[in-house]
Amino acid sequence: MYSPPHAGDSDSEGSLLLSDVSVSPPRGRSQPPPPPPKPRPSPKHTATAKSKSKPKPKPKAKPKPVASAGTAAAPPPPLPSAALSDPHGLASRIAAAPALVAATSTVSSSSFRRLVQSRNPSFDPVAAFSAPAPAPTPTPAPVPTPTEIPTAAAAQCPAPDAPPRARPKRVHPNSVSEVPPAVAEAEQPKRPRGSGEGNFVRLNINGYGRKRTFRNAKARRPTKYRSWRRQGAGGVKPQGYGDEEGDFVAEALMEREKKGEVGDAGVLKAVEAAREDPSEQNLESLLRLAYGYDSFRKGQLEAIQKVVAAESTMLVLPTGAGKSLCYQIPAMILPGLTLVVSPLLSLMVDQLRKLPAFLPGGLLASNQTSDEFHETLQRLRGGDIKVLFVSPERFLNEEFLLIFRDALPISLVAIDEAHCISEWSHNFRPSYLRLRASLLRRKLNVQCILAMTATATTQTLEEIVNALEIPSNNLIKTSQIRDNLQLSISTSDNRLKDLLLLLKSSPFVDMKSIIVYCKFQGETDYVSKCLCDNNISAKSYHSGLPMKNRSRVQELFCSNKIRVVVATVAFGMGLDKSDVEGVIHYSLPESLEEYVQETGRAGRDGRLSHCHLLLDSTTFYKIRSLSHSDGVDEYAISKFLYQVFSCENSTGSICSLVKESTSRKFDIKEEVLLTVLTQLEIGGQQYLRLLPQFSVTCTLYFHKTSPQLLADKDVLVRSVLNKSETKDGNFVFDMTKIANDLDITVNEVIDHLQQLKFSGEISFELKDPAYCYVILKKPDGLNTLSANITKWVSEVESSKITKLDAMFALANFAVKGCQRTDGCSGSQHTQCIQKKIMEYFSKNEATSDNDYCAQPHKSSPFLQADIKVFLQSNSFAKFTPRAVARIMHGISSPGFPSATWSKNHFWGRYVEVDFPVVMEAAKAELVKLVGKGA
């Protein structure tokens, strides 16, 4: 459900679960005798990826200059300094999307259409339903015996090109079905045609759904798409998207479009029956007909029944346990629209692909043009969309919220990756803060909310349940760890060497799909290159790569053409590859939530799979340092608030803060600025209303009529001439000034400029992406507000550190403290890790086991002297204690970027000394300097 907005490497997601969910016992423990194993086709890979890989695509010509939000990727290899600057690549992860809407199949839910029609009598729906072919289903399978993970010392390297051994087919541990594979295969109904991944809903990326009206059918989609992209406001591509990203989305949608288009009259009958009586029997029959599955997995039926009864529900199921079904089936049954809030464009596209054929879907993400938005709206109003995926940022758009008030009934809001709502989760997203029951009721008239997550501590759950007002007895939670995963940990002084040994030894040597997780982008490139050099077919994946390359890697991995993906946390969300057999953590995950989610990408097919963690304290210290990168000082927050509410920003008018320069000025990361602004909107007192983000600096070029003559005819041009400066003969102005002058929205200003552009009168360029807002009330005193906000941000920072410490303590306990009883042996620690994880998730607050957590040093003999030398030799710069401590810890910040400061001799020198200790030392030195200066 995350990353990540501009997507970064840190949005991880989903996780898995536990032993109590499983009906079929895990492989390798006390299993029933396995049915005759079906050999897997032997892999065709091993060291072939390199030679087969296509030549790099030529870089595309970029559209005209629009300032981007500064999402520079960390440079490749040598990892250290620069790679540390954006370990998550957050900036580029959560890319806003063009409006994408699936044209419906003709088989849309008839009652929904009737309902929409009753509110839009002018609409004339097509009501055709066609019958699909039945289809097959997954089958249960046997389990091999767990194998000990080799340590570097013990591992025997087989021939590098030894082919992986075939494994028997798997069964999902959570599958309720006990039917033996052969029987299951024979008896299970076939899936309706088009219900497989990538089928059903015909998509038109512009949301028009008028596939057959285009004359140039061959070139239509890409051409249309690209021209749409170029026609973004100001003739530039929408911010947040590269051409590659656009292409990726368009390709995904075209692929969908090519596939199935039919529904099933049988399914419709089953829907009607379930609507009349949502009994277990009726819902199971619908499940069988619609998906070809035998029975519900644990938690699914209960969740579906609650949602169908319009009861808000909190659902915690492990990664791959089938949460999507819990909103898809209600979406078929409920009369109105189902709105699914999802944190990542790629995740939305993936979920859209997976909708069954008869469930027409659509997608709206932020940063679409107004035309795009309205066309999508039209399809919504026509009842052609039954499930609409939206990014949380959409809720900033009043126009978006308004459309649902009168004409469009929403039956259900499903919030995917609901843990992003909580700042105590491992993956907090400011834009999720806005998702409150009160807002959803008030603005969307929604009564039923389904919150879904795979990993949430008790504290996080409490926060979600409170925000969404979910009754306490509507919490459906199974344990968060799947029991078909064999978990092992070993310490490592040379991780690369140990990784190579692992990959060349049993059981990993036999696996055809492995994910290796690293912390830093540069690290993934470096490690994957080393693997290739050692005849292991591998590719790297991180958010610094163009979207096209990323999707290519994912595609190659999913089709088993590469064996190993070496990735940051950016890889895996929404990845529904069931036969990933191994996950290796080359770097320590930042939290147990992240560990559970990432290991959960293995063994989704229910077969025994292996997860190994290479533990080293150097990485732990590095990551711990980085946990301080979001920290703020009260002084900086206070100055920032002063600017937000400055005198020239009057109540009721549109104000803006250019993201990059504001972030640099206050040395506060952009995400933190957004979090603070969101707090000002949804905290106890509402001080402002956030608007969608725009690029606010516009340069206007006149082409036909002279500026003055055009100003005589056009009121907006007149305002521009009054409010702009001239630079090189062109007019440069702030969009919000024009909007305020004319009392219109920034969107309307852009629309008007666009019209003038189409008429050939002007062209324009936009730059400086900014946070936009309207002040509703100025705070009485900024001091208390700054103190409260700073305290809150600091608590969030501490919580991150505690989570990391808990992860490290668990791993350290396994290698140093585990007595290797109760099933643990050698480096295999499944039992003790599972136990600790369950304890962690059941506690009210994240805590770490201090006996096993390496504590950073509380002092250092040379620290003070080094800081003194540093300050003296850099007297040109203006430092705060936090800025000095960040440099000593090797943490890049907006005001002191690694590109400049990583060359400094002291960069990252005190990573192992506690950050607050370094800050204190820096403060003492700075005070001395000020004293001398005075």
Binding site for ligand ATP (CB under 6 A): 14, 138, 175, 293, 296-297, 300, 317, 319-325, 454, 576
Q: DSSP letters of 711-769?
A: HHH-HHHHHHHHH-EEETTEEEEEHHHHHHHHT--HHHHHHHHHHHHHTTSEEEEEEEE
89-117 per-residue burial string, b: 16 or more CB within 10 A, e: under 16: bbbbbbbbbbbbbbbbbbbbbebbbebbe
**Residue whose tokens read 């199971």:** 284
- Residues 149 and 488: their CA atoms lie apart, in Å, by 7
Nearest to ligand ATP of 349, 793 (CB atom):
349
Q: Which helix (H) or strand (E) holds 786?
A: helix 782-812
Write a three-state SS string for 375-417: HHHHHHHCCCCCEEEECHHHHHCHHHHHHHHHCCCEEEEEECC
CA distance to 12, 185, 848, per residue, from 136 (Å): 32, 7, 47
**CB of 576: closest distance to ligand ATP in angstroms?**
5
Residues 702 and 761: beta-carbon distance below 8 Å: yes
Q: Which residue's CB is nearer to ligand ATP, number 346 or number 411?
A: 346
Q: How far is the CB of 197 from ligand ATP (least distance, A)?
A: 8
* Shortest reach from residue 322's CB to ligand ATP, in Å: 3
Q: What is the chain's length?
A: 934
Closer by beta carbon to ligand ATP, 593 or else 761: 593
Cβ-proximal residues to 556 (8 Å cutoff; 6+ apart), any chain: 49, 539, 562
Using an 8 Å Cβ cutoff, are 62 and 579 in contact? no
List of long-range contacts for 439-444, beta carbons under 8 Å, 24+ apart: 439/395, 440/413, 440/468, 443/395, 443/401, 443/404, 443/405, 444/339, 444/401, 444/404, 444/405, 444/410, 444/413
Q: Compute the least distance from the CB of residue 364 to ligand ATP, in Å.
A: 20
Cβ nearer to ligand ATP, comparing 248 with 296: 296
Among residues 221 and 288, whose Cβ is nearest to ligand ATP?
288
CB nearer to ligand ATP: pick between 239 and 300: 300
Find the shortest distance in angstroms from Cβ 426 to ligand ATP.
14
Question: Which is nearer to ligand ATP, 296 or 620 (by Cβ)?
Answer: 296
What distance in Å separates the CA atoms of residue 700 and residue 744, rounded to the nearest whole number?
Answer: 19
Q: Is 213 exposed, middle or buried (0-12, 13-18, 19+ CB in 10 A)?
A: exposed
The distance of closest approach from Cβ of residue 876 to ligand ATP in the complex, given in angstroms and rounded to an integer, is 50
Minimum Å distance from CB 393 to ligand ATP?
A: 20
Neighbours of 931 (CB within 10 A): 8
CA distance 710 to 723: 15
**Maximum Cα–Cα distance for the chain, whole Å?**
88
Residue (of 477, 468, 473) closest to 450 by Cα position: 468
CB 573, min distance to ligand ATP, A: 7
Going by their DSSP bridges, the two strands 313-316 and 688-702 should be labelled as unpaired
For residue 119, the number of C-alpha atoms closer than 13 Å in the C-beta half-sphere is 18
Q: Nearest approach, Cβ of 15 to ligand ATP (angstroms)? A: 7
Rounded to a whole number of angstroms, the minimum distance from the CB of residue 319 to ligand ATP is 4
Is 452 or 753 the residue whose CB approaches ligand ATP more closely? 452
Minimum CB distance to ligand ATP smaller for 89 or for 356: 356
CB of 317 to ligand ATP, least distance (A): 5
Comparing CB distances to ligand ATP, the nearer of 14 and 89 is 14
Handedness of CA 482, 485, 487, 493 (dihedral sign): negative
Q: How far is the CB of 270 from ligand ATP (least distance, A)?
A: 15
Nearer to ligand ATP, 386 or 669 (CB): 386
Asked whether the bond before 35 is cis by omega within 30 degrees of 0, the reply is no
3-class DSSP assignment, residue 453: strand
CA distance 652 to 729: 33
Cβ-based nearer residue to ligand ATP, 287 or 735: 287
Residues 746, 654: contact at Cβ < 8 Å? yes
Q: CB nearer to ligand ATP: give 4 or 150.
A: 4
Nearer to ligand ATP, 321 or 832 (CB): 321
What CA–CA distances, in Å, run from 42 to 172, 452, 603, 728, 894?
Answer: 22, 37, 18, 65, 50
Structure tokens at 707: 């500026």
Structure tokens at 270: 């089953």
Q: Which is nearer to ligand ATP, 92 or 453 (CB)?
A: 453
CA pseudo-torsion sign 741, 744, 745, 749: negative
Per-residue DSSP letter, 170: P
363: part of which helix (H) or strand (E)? strand 361-364
Q: How far is the CB of 353 from ligand ATP (least distance, A)?
A: 11
What's the chain's Rg over C-alpha atoms?
Answer: 28
Distance, in Å, from the CA atom of 725 to the CA atom of 722, rounded to the nearest integer, reads: 9
CB of 325 to ligand ATP, least distance (A): 5
514 versus 811: smaller Cβ distance to ligand ATP: 514
DSSP 162: P
Q: Which is nearer to ligand ATP, 259 or 889 (CB)?
A: 259
Least distance from ligand ATP to the Cβ atom of residue 462, Å:
21
> What is the DSSP-derived secondary structure letter of residue 927?
H
Give the C-alpha separation, 820 to 339, whole Å: 48
CB of 326 to ligand ATP, least distance (A): 8
Nearest approach in angstroms of CB 324 to ligand ATP is 3
Q: How far is the CB of 514 from ligand ATP (least distance, A)?
A: 18
- Nearer to ligand ATP among residue 179 and residue 716 (C-beta): 179
